[in-house]
Structure 1
């Protein structure tokens, strides 16, 4: 994806998180992380906030904010690629917690804007406000406590993000939240974990946004039905996340990075130009050839085999990544 991106917000976020777990026993942080991971995988719909206290919020921010930031940024890049002349003048982040999506928006469109973060966990909002002080582009954020469900009211905004929150809700509340976003926004981006369940929630949101008159900007090359056979596979992507020493302290692990799997849809009421084809799996690089699994505008799911005899196209194929557009796909 080739949307503009500045490393400054990512660096500022890492710096803001650096001292977050000072004084919090590692065992307590690890236990909180384990419980939060189970919930954020979407298997525990609830009508109560998942982030209950400062310890929960600190553990969540340390372990999840960098990954959420990268996944949301990648999804926003898909929208930015499809509408390169557009940028949001206002932003509402539904279920935004400690504000990872607001950081990602500031990394994608480098200007300040009025932002409202809605969440039902006051400790998350409090910590989000503290972290945002490190980012000048987040000076106009209203951290507002709000129940996320059927009674949700969203003020009109250019962009509404709903990231890693639908899995916390009942099916009825998911529909209500997406409908509220569709009524309020010019563009809606929904991000969920890259699991079959997360993809199913994204697919339902996609259908609802299309029914509300939106056009799909990304990742799909079209507004038609998803060509994946239900139950056979699921659409998801991967974002590389640098692990800090803080991250390893919370959850362990020897690698300096991890890959965050996510599913998403970006949709808009204004004209967008989706890619002709998108790489839907990690490319398979073999001797003298590259195999690309694609979702295409005209042919649905397809595989492209690019060999050395294709010259420049082969060199391009070797550099393409999972989730990238493939300009030769049409």
Structure 2
């Protein structure tokens, strides 16, 4: 996939204010910190406006790709949902907002909560390039996600790559605060790592206890069947622009973002038979699938003997829904 033209243009024009060599050095430092496990959203790793721009260049495309994948999955599972309002908590430069308006262009009112003024300033500048008034006129609230902010319930609430920035003792109360702010659905996205999935599992268990149901990715609202030594995650491939390759020092024309997520819902969704939780293994006469189903994890083998099923199985990808 690619970034929407308006967003891609906005990013490149904002980055034009920094020499490419300097931007590349800032991105290299952020990349080193990210690979070492540092939480980039925490101070003091991002202190200046230029560092915030470098963060945008480094992470916005990948987090957009993850958010778009997740929200598209949610729309497929909740086809009757037509949200009017979106709340993005820990919004950064507003990445999830752009993805959400691609999935639900009917969104009318968007509220973003972000503690860093540099991120807010960047987000507002990017928003000026949008054709949708909901993006241009979005309300930005400068506040810590664990601070005092009171907003009315929103149809869609999203917290993307936020839980891993919080102290462990604060996560439970944060989850409940967001659920209380949710009119229809609440979405969490975290890195596709064992630690990221552990946070998603924690959210899942906590809010199932509060009466929530699972809209995605799980095909059920029972206990998670993923073994403790495994983790549920997905991947989205994003095409890199020339500038993106240049500042990241990469030669590949794409990058893959891996992430874990869960969508909790107050409204009923579509029942499905399962979801593909690993890359399908396609062989000459067989397709091997690892599926999460209402009955648990199933390793299925589809053979050429069943022509229709085999034909359909060959089209499935990691993350595909099985109806």
> TM-score of the superposition, structure 2-length normalised?
0.92
Q: Do residues 271 (structure 1) and 265 (structure 2) align? A: no
Counterpart of 2:309 in structure 1 is: 313
CA distance in 2, matches of 1:205, 1:61: 27
Aligned length: 319
Counterpart of 2:207 in structure 1 is: 209
Counterpart of 2:111 in structure 1 is: 116
Q: Which runs of 5+ in 2 are unaligned?
A: none
Deviation at 1:151, TM superposition (A): 4.3
Q: Do the aligned partners of 2:112 and 2:140 also contact (CA within 8 Å) in 1?
A: yes
CA distance in 2, matches of 1:46, 1:135: 25
Counterpart of 2:138 in structure 1 is: 141
Deviations 1:52-109 (A, max 9, x none): 2211221121121111111011111221111101121101100001011000100101
After superposition, residues 1-330 of structure 1 pair within 5 angstroms as: 10-37=4-31, 38=33, 43-44=38-39, 48=43, 51-137=46-132, 138-149=135-146, 151-185=148-182, 186-230=184-228, 232-298=229-295, 300-327=296-323
CA distance in 1, matches of 2:221, 2:28: 38
Residues 284/175 of structure 1: CA separation in 2 closer, same or farther (3 Å cut): same
CA RMSD of aligned residues (A): 2.1
Deviation at 1:160, TM superposition (A): 0.5
- The answer to which of 36-45 and 21-30 deviates more is 36-45
> TM-score of the superposition, structure 1-length normalised?
0.90
CA distance in 2, matches of 1:226, 1:8: 32
Q: Do the aligned partners of 2:27 and 2:57 also contact (CA within 8 Å) in 1?
A: no
- The answer to which of 240-249 and 269-278 deviates more is 269-278
Q: Do the aligned partners of 2:239 and 2:253 also contact (CA within 8 Å) in 1?
A: yes
Residues 58/41 of structure 1: CA separation in 2 closer, same or farther (3 Å cut): same
Give the secondary structure class of the aligned counterpart of 2:259.
Answer: strand
CA distance in 2, matches of 1:319, 1:106: 28
